[in-house]
Structure 1
Amino acid sequence: MKSSSHAPSATSLPRAPRDDVDARSVRYLVTMGIRIACFVLMVVITPYGWYTWVFGAAAIFLPYVAVVSANVGHEGRRNRREDPEAALPAAPSEPSAPAAPEVRVIRIDETRPGADGARDGAA
């Protein structure tokens, strides 16, 4: 029988925060480098045509993409697999005779004040 409380393995632990920050910084800097290249290509390449608009759009929208991708850490992009073993009981319980549940009944009877002679104030 397996124990339901076990330590997580070293391979299932998340990355160190320092490594995660380094990877996010590199991803941000690469994206911003591509943005600078798009801006330079937009200005330098002549004659201007449809590709000028593509480079301009990339130069405008890449900062947003860079910030969003840098803010999503490694944990946000990874598919999280849940181990169903922790949710299962350790051993199936033996079927036993079902105990009769205790039934509690609360009954409230209401009567009108004038319907019963003892309740209308004339004791």
Structure 2
Amino acid sequence: MSRRRPDPVLITDAPESPERERLGREVRYLIMMGIRAACLIVAAILVSNKPPHYGWWVIGCVVGMVVLPWLAVLIANDRPAKARYRMSRYLHRPAAPPPTDPRSLPTPREDRVIDADD
């Protein structure tokens, strides 16, 4: 006799496939590395042209070039948190009585007291 869940699993409760999840992380990584490459190119252009507030722009680009790879690796290696089991579908149902097993012992009486001094 096999036990089955009383309710079918909703497809919306299923996690995303590992291949699709990995693809999403790869795309985010490539976008961040593209922004880093753009920071390098912009910094090179700024150094050659020396526009107003040149120092702040270069510092911003250098910070982007240093911080973005670190963030990209962290984000690419991070998996999404496991979703907590959805309890919303159980909120509107009446509570079912606990299952009884015919092989289980009867429940003890409430007025029974065990005294070690006797």
Task: Give the TM-score of the pair, scaled to structure 1.
Answer: 0.64
Structure 1 segment 45-64 matched on structure 2, within 5 A: 45=46, 46-47=49-50, 48-64=54-70
Deviations for 1:22-41, whole angstroms, at most 9, x for unmatched residues?
A: 11101101101101111221
Q: Which has the higher contact order (CA 8 A, sep 6+)?
A: 1
Unaligned runs of 5+ in 2: 99-108
Q: For 1:1-123, list aligned pairs within 5 A.
A: 5-45=6-46, 46-47=49-50, 48-73=54-79, 75-76=80-81, 80=84, 82-83=86-87, 85=90, 89-91=95-97, 99-107=109-117
| Runs of 4+ off more than 6 Å | none
Give 1:6's aligned amino acid.
Answer: D
Deviation at 1:91, TM superposition (A): 4.3
Q: How many positions carry a matched residue from both structures?
A: 98
**RMSD between aligned residues:** 3.0
1:6-56 CA-to-partner distances (Å, cap 9, x unmatched) read 221112211111101111101101101101111221122131321110010
Q: How high is the sequence identity, in percent, across the aligned residues?
A: 28
Please tell me whether Structure 1 or Structure 2 has the larger radius of gyration of its CA atoms.
1
